């Protein structure tokens, strides 16, 4: 029987990281993935990741996938694609189907890194063609270049709903609205803000009541819900759309672990049914590990670290690394993991009221409910320079108002103008003493697209506002259009005075528009005429 | 492999549904252009892309009608898990079109229950 | 308050059927099940409702069930048990198979069963999808199949509606015997009282009966089955083979249920896990395709395994345990209890309630196991 | 170990809800009302629901509906969803053709034997 030191099931961020870790300890490793492309969901993630440099922050998901795959290949990991693991049996044996051939394979350790599957929401008409999962939308538009629909309604405002909603706009579709039954937006404020400033409405405390249509979706009715989640009669709104995208959370895809005989538990903090495992990911079955979303829903960044930990543990089990090396690796990995598990969106803080930041700044309720920070609130935050500072010349304005684990902005500024510190969930601060050169690296590096450059010292009663821009077609210098507010409302006329796209910014352009001077702290999006 | 470009003869639907120039991903790598049959009609797609993607690009939404209630179904998960998008492909029913690569000359048919024709009617 | 007329240990098809027939006459019944309803052999069998190829000791139960109970069972229980009297074909590929089946046919006929040998062509007239390698079969037109999971749950549903109390997740660990008679049962945490107790717990019956000093010579064997995606209606017979390399049928839903073996079922390591083996489903498929090459492209969507309580002579123990008054046993069905379950339930109910023998159970006594030499 | 459940006939009659006809199991087209009624009739775990209604037994192996079913069962029984066991996971994780299974890597050995 075919046999390896380690079998990894799933070539996503956790699985590839585990394979790399194990292979670099000298183990023979095979990775199976049912998809024809490796990387799991990474190849559908065209947005930039959060976190710190060690977490590959500000890199786009699909590029991280390419790097992991190249690294695995260099280390001699055998990555078997279009290979579906059918079952996990006693004695760490699996059956795997590749191109209509079922093989039996054994290993000293198995790491199950099968990721997550989408939660679904049943409603009247949810079986109609045109109702799809958010993952389906990503697959169609980001892998295969086909639009999921022309006008799309997004159900769910968690990070998946927000990120996919934004990607739907990038694909050239119209996003009609984002709906969430909760009274607040579930995902990062910065993700919501980059949608809101295009003029898109958020319907919090709303749910979908019905999808209309006979053979395909033609419209949807949404309805307000009260505090007990009951529909409020008379609050129905009909929205004309052809596609409804459901993004109401993920659950661990733990069936293989259950099938293998691992002791399972239902854990709401982990998003569903997961195998009980120790701190290294080892389940109740010796040598059977889990890593990534299958062990509990988190982000791709934490999945990569969990993969490394499980990979190292499997290496220790084989005697391929010493106890000492294992311990020092794990200490480092765990520190890195803990960084990502901080902040107001961390699992441990779920359900806690969102009132103020760790530093004591009042959180924007407008951002939580409607997706944008209100004009009156914005000056409260430490990333927003005071009027005196703005009056002296070009400055960055960092509209990062929630504690999320992310710090690329402080590396972006070569002058050291932006400080987050070692606790990467802290809000970035502007050092008023440092003079901004206007290079814009912070603008294009921020994964949340929350940094703008403001220059109020331009001739006439004008101000220049530089914004990150990721849509097609890219406006040109001299284009005339309108400036939109954080909520996407018309503010006034705007003219593009420069568009800069650098290699380092990885397709995020910095668009600078000239607007009426009084709009400098309001104008946050440009729309060409 | 060549990059996706929709020929002049492509339908309007195809021009609307295919992303020509993505702000991040730019052009999509596609196989060669192929024709296939959908319920007898000749449609165009690209080799190796999932059948469901080629159908979507051509505006086809209904993949099958269910056994019990005869209700239409189409793409739902797009990754081979939900099995809603199954169709009859080259005579074989229950083929998950979202993960089955398109080939030149493939015969794709709407599935009724588990069969070709609606046997209930 | 923990006192009942009858306690049944085991929520499989036998326990649920008996509970149902007892509850029809208003007997106060408690049924205790360690797991869920119908998770043992009751949800892990091929669904055959068959008289042919039965041991003659079971034949009266099988024939009574087919003649009197199965045809009306769905109506009686108010839930479709998917009974289909489509006949039973036991297929032969070699002259040895034919000889084996001829003996079986002769035995069945002697018991009054309508049963015959038919040729390969006749087999293919009944079921055109069978391979030309099939040279003949035994055919019993009154046999058929049902849905064992639905049947078990339908008995349960109706019995519960008629007042039977079911407690699941409650394992009977021992029998309570007082003054030599049954007084009730003990679970891990409770004692329940009744002067009549039926043990119908599959292989688990062995340990329970042993607590009252009765040993039943049985073992447990892991059997596996699989189900396919739904297909257009192809045939309605229950199928088996002389080589015993597969059995099964097409359900009313369109899916195929097939069972079979790898040959190593009697040598399970530790015999605790109910999980499927990595090689058995393939083995079953090879068995099936040897008869049905046309099913090659049909998708298997699920496999499962379960323990069968195999009595040393492959025939169950059903009836009173005379030496412990109040104790009744129904176990060791050896993989073919489903087809006779309504008759077993009805017969046991009459025996427990009225001490009457609806059908003869003498040959199935618990004390038939005497030393060979 | 399996959780203890006491099952006796419900003293109430079954009440229908306006959204009972929403499909829950997309593969087998089983509605919320059918699942609710099955719970009312005594099916108390997703495995029993599955065996009784085929909900979650379809081509997708319950990947879409199994957690929805758990929530419905929990609500009908008035217990937290945490206490409703998940249905059993079974191989094969994805549909696989009989012919492919039959030709698995151990076939040669099987033929020799």
Largest CA distance in chain B: 49
Which residues of A fall below an 8 Å CB-CB distance to C? 87, 89-90, 93-95, 102, 104, 259, 261
pLDDT, tens only, C24-42 = 999 999 999 999 999 888 8
Predicted local confidence at residue B9, as pLDDT: 47
End-to-end CA separation in angstroms for chain C: 49
Whether D102 and chain A come into contact, CB under 8 Å, resolves to: no
Instruction: Answer whether 0.90 is exceeded by the pTM.
Output: yes
Give the β-pairing of C196-199 and C6-9.
parallel
pLDDT digits 0-9 by tens, B74-115: 999 999 888 999 999 999 999 999 999 999 999 999 999 988
Give the per-residue pLDDT at B14: 67
What are the backbone dihedrals phi and psi of residue A469, each rounded to the nearest 5 degrees, phi first?
Answer: -140, 125
Element (H, E) at D3: none
pLDDT-wise least confident of A431-435, B90-94, C197-201, D44-48: A431-435
pLDDT surpassing 80 at residue C94 = yes
Q: Which CATH architecture has domain C6-47+149-217+313-364?
A: 3-Layer(bba) Sandwich (3.50)
Percent of chain A with pLDDT over 70: 100
CA-nearest of C71, C44, C37, C3 to C276 is: C44
Which residues neighbour D32 within 8 Å (Cβ) at sequence distance 6 or greater? A122, D17, D19, D20, D21, D22, D23, D24, D72
- Band (pLDDT 50/70/90 cuts) for residue A232 is very high
Q: Regarding predicted confidence, which is higher, D50 or A503?
A: D50
Give how far A505 is from chain D: nearest CA, Å.
Answer: 39
Q: Which CATH class is domain A120-246?
A: alpha beta
Q: Which of A145, A171, A216 sits opposite B4 (nearest CB)?
A: A145
Q: What is the pLDDT of residue C263?
A: 81
3-state secondary structure (DSSP) of residue D93:
coil
Is D13 inside a domain boundary? no
Percentage of chain C lying above the pLDDT 70 cut: 98
What is the reported pLDDT for D1?
63
For residue A196, pLDDT beyond 50: yes
Tell me: the pLDDT tens digits for A365-405? 999 999 999 999 999 999 999 999 999 999 999 999 999 99
Phi, psi (5° rounding) for residue A75? Answer: -90, 5
| CATH number of the domain enclosing D85 | 1.10.10.1100
Closest chain D C-alpha to C125 CA, distance in angstroms: 24
Please report the number of interchain residue pairs, chain B to chain C, with beta-carbon separation below 8 angstroms: 14
Architecture in CATH for domain A2-117+250-340:
3-Layer(bba) Sandwich (3.50)
pLDDT digits (tens, 9 = 90+) for C231-288: 999 999 999 999 999 999 999 999 999 998 888 877 766 656 678 889 999 999 999 9
Does A85 score more than 70 pLDDT? yes
Q: What angle do CA A504, A505, A506 make, to 5 degrees?
A: 95
**Burial grade of C336 (CB within 10 A; 0-12, 13-18, 19 or more):** buried
C-alpha torsion B75→B79→B80→B82, nearest 10 = -60
pLDDT of residue D113: 45
Average pLDDT for D24-34: 96
State the pLDDT at residue C273.
67
Q: So what's the pLDDT on residue B6?
A: 44
Interface touch B81/D29, C-beta < 8 Å: no
Q: Is the pLDDT of residue A83 over 80?
A: yes
CATH number of the domain encompassing residue B11? 3.10.20.440
Range of the domain at B107: 2-112
| Average pLDDT, rounded, for chain A | 95
Determine which of D21, D59, D68 to mutate to test the interface with B (most B C-beta atoms within 10 Å).
Answer: D59
Residue B121 maps to a domain: no
CA–CA separation, A92 and A287 (whole Å): 8
Domain count, chain D: 1
pLDDT at B7: 45
Kindly list the domain boundaries of chain A, sorted by start residue.
Answer: 2-117+250-340, 120-246, 374-528
| Res. C131: pLDDT tops 90 | yes
pLDDT at C271: 59
Confidence of residue D59 (pLDDT cuts 50, 70, 90): confident
Number of domains within chain B: 1
C144 — pLDDT class (breaks 50, 70, 90): very high
User: Residue range A277-302: average pLDDT?
Assistant: 96
Which range of residues forms the domain containing residue D30? 23-112
Percentage of chain A exceeding pLDDT 90? 90
Confidence at residue B4, expressed as pLDDT on a 0 to 100 scale: 44
Interface test with A, best of D68, D91, D107, D110 (most A CBs within 10 A): D91
CA distance, residue B12 to nearest chain D CA (Å) = 32
pLDDT-based confidence at B3, cuts 50/70/90?
A: very low
pLDDT band at residue C307 under the 50/70/90 scheme:
confident
In a domain, B17, yes or no: yes
Residue D106: per-residue pLDDT: 81
Six token digits for residue B12: 């309007």
């Amino acid at each position: 029987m075919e046999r390896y030191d380690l079998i990894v099931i799933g070539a996503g961020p956790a699985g590839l990281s585990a394979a790399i870790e194990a292979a670099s300890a000298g183990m023979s490793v095979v990775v199976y993935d049912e998809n024809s492309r490796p990387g799991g969901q990474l190849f559908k993630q065209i947005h930039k990741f959060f976190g710190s440099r060690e977490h590959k922050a500000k890199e786009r998901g699909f590029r991280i996938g390419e790097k992991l795959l190249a690294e695995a290949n260099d280390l001699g990991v055998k990555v078997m694609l279009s290979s579906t693991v059918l079952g996990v049996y006693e004695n760490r044996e699996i059956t795997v189907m590749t191109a209509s051939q079922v093989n039996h394979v054994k290993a000293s350790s198995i790491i199950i890194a099968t990721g997550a599957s989408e939660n679904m929401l049943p409603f009247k008409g949810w079986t109609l063609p045109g109702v799809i999962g958010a993952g389906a939308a990503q697959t169609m538009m980001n892998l295969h270049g086909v639009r999921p629909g022309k006008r799309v309604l997004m159900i769910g405002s968690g990070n998946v709903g927000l990120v996919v909603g934004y990607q739907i706009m990038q694909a050239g579709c119209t996003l009609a609205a984002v709906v969430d039954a909760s009274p607040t937006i579930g995902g990062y404020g910065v993700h919501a803000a980059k949608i809101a400033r295009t003029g898109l409405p958020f319907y919090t405390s709303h749910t979908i009541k019905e999808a209309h249509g006979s053979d395909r979706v033609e419209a949807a009715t949404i309805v307000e819900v009260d505090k007990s989640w009951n529909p409020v009669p008379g609050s129905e709104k009909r929205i004309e759309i052809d596609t409804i995208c459901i993004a109401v959370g993920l659950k661990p895809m733990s069936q293989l672990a259950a099938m293998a005989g691992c002791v399972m538990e239902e854990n709401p903090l982990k998003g569903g049914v997961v195998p009980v495992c120790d701190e290294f990911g080892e389940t109740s079955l010796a040598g059977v590990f889990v890593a990534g979303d299958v062990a509990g829903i988190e982000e791709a960044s934490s999945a990569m670290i969990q993969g490394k930990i499980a990979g190292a543990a499997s290496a220790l089990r084989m005697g391929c690394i010493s106890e000492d090396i294992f311990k020092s690796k794990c200490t480092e990995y765990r520190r890195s993991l803990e960084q990502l598990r901080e902040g107001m969106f961390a699992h441990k803080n779920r359900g806690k009221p969102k009132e103020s930041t760790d530093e004591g700044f009042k959180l924007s309720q407008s951002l939580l409910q409607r997706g944008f920070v209100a004009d009156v609130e914005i000056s409260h935050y430490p990333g927003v320079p005071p009027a005196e500072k703005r009056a002296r010349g070009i400055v960055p304005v960092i509209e990062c108002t929630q504690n999320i684990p992310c710090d690329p902005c402080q590396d972006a500024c070569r002058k050291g103008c932006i400080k987050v510190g070692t606790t990467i969930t802290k809000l970035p601060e502007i050092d008023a003493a440092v003079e901004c050169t206007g290079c814009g690296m912070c603008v294009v590096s921020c994964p949340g697209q929350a940094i703008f450059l403001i220059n109020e010292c331009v001739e006439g009663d004008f101000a220049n506002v530089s914004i990150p821009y990721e849509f097609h077609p890219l406006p040109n210098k001299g284009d005339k259009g309108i400036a939109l507010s954080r909520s996407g409302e018309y503010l006034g006329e705007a003219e593009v005075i420069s568009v800069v796209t650098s290699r380092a910014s990885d397709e995020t352009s910095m668009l600078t528009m000239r607007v009426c001077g009084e709009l400098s702290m309001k104008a946050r999006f440009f729309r060409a005429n | 492999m060549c990059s996706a470009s929709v020929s002049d003869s492509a339908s309007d639907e195809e021009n609307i549904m295919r992303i020509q120039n993505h702000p991040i991903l730019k052009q999509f790598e596609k196989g060669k252009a192929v024709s296939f049959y959908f319920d007898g009609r000749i449609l165009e797609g690209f080799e190796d892309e999932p059948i469901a993607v080629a159908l979507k690009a051509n505006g086809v939404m209904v993949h099958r009608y269910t056994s019990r209630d005869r209700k239409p179904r189409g793409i739902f998960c797009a990754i081979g898990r939900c099995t809603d998008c199954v169709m009859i492909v080259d005579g074989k029913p229950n083929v998950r079109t979202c993960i089955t690569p398109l080939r030149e000359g493939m015969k794709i048919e709407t599935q009724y229950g588990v069969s070709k024709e609606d046997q209930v009617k | 308050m923990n006192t009942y007329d009858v306690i049944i240990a085991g929520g499989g098809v036998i326990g649920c059927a008996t509970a149902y027939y007892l509850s029809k006459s208003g007997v106060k019944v408690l049924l205790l099940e360690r797991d869920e309803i119908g998770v043992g052999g009751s949800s892990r069998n091929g669904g055959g409702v068959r008289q042919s190829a039965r041991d003659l000791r079971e034949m009266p139960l099988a024939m009574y069930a087919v003649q009197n109970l199965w045809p009306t069972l769905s109506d009686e229980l108010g839930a479709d048990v998917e009974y289909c009297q489509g006949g039973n074909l036991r297929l032969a590929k070699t002259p040895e198979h034919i000889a084996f089946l001829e003996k079986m046919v002769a035995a069945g006929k002697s018991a009054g069963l309508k049963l015959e040998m038919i040729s390969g062509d006749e087999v293919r007239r009944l079921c055109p999808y069978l391979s030309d390698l099939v040279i003949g079969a035994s055919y019993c037109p009154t046999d058929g199949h049902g849905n064992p999971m639905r049947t078990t749950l339908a008995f349960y549903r109706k019995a519960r509606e008629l007042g039977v109390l079911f407690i699941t997740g409650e394992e009977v660990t021992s029998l309570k015997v007082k003054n030599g008679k049954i007084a009730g049962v003990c679970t891990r945490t409770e004692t329940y009282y009744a002067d009549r107790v039926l043990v119908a717990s599959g292989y688990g019956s062995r340990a329970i009966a042993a607590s009252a000093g009765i040993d039943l010579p049985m073992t447990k064997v892991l059997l596996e089955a699989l189900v396919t995606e739904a297909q257009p209606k192809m045939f309605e017979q229950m199928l088996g083979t002389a080589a015993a390399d597969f059995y099964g049928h097409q359900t009313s839903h369109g899916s195929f249920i097939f069972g079979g073996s790898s040959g190593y079922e009697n040598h399970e390591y530790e015999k605790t896990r109910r999980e499927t083996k990595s090689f058995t489903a393939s083995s079953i498929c090879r068995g099936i395709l040897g008869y049905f090459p046309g099913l090659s492209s049909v998708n298997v969507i699920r496999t499962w395994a379960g323990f069968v309580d195999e009595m040393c002579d492959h025939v169950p123990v059903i009836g009173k345990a005379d030496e412990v008054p109040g104790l009744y046993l129904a176990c060791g069905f050896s993989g073919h209890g489903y087809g006779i379950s309504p008759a077993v339930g009805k017969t046991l109910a009459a025996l427990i309630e009225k001490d009457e023998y609806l059908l003869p159970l003498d040959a199935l006594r618990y004390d038939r196991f005497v030393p060979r030499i | 170990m399996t959780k203890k459940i006491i099952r006796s006939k419900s003293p109430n009659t079954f009440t229908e809800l306006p959204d009972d006809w929403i499909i829950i199991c997309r593969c087998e087209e089983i509605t919320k009302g059918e699942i609710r009624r099955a719970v009312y009739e005594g099916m108390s775990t997703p495995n029993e629901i599955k065996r009784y209604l085929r909900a979650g037994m379809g081509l997708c192996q319950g990947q879409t509906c199994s957690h929805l079913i758990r929530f419905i069962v929990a609500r009908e029984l008035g217990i937290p969803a945490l206490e409703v066991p998940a249905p059993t996971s079974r191989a094969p994780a994805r549909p696989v053709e009989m012919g492919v299974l039959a030709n698995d890597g151990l076939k040669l050995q099987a033929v020799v034997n």
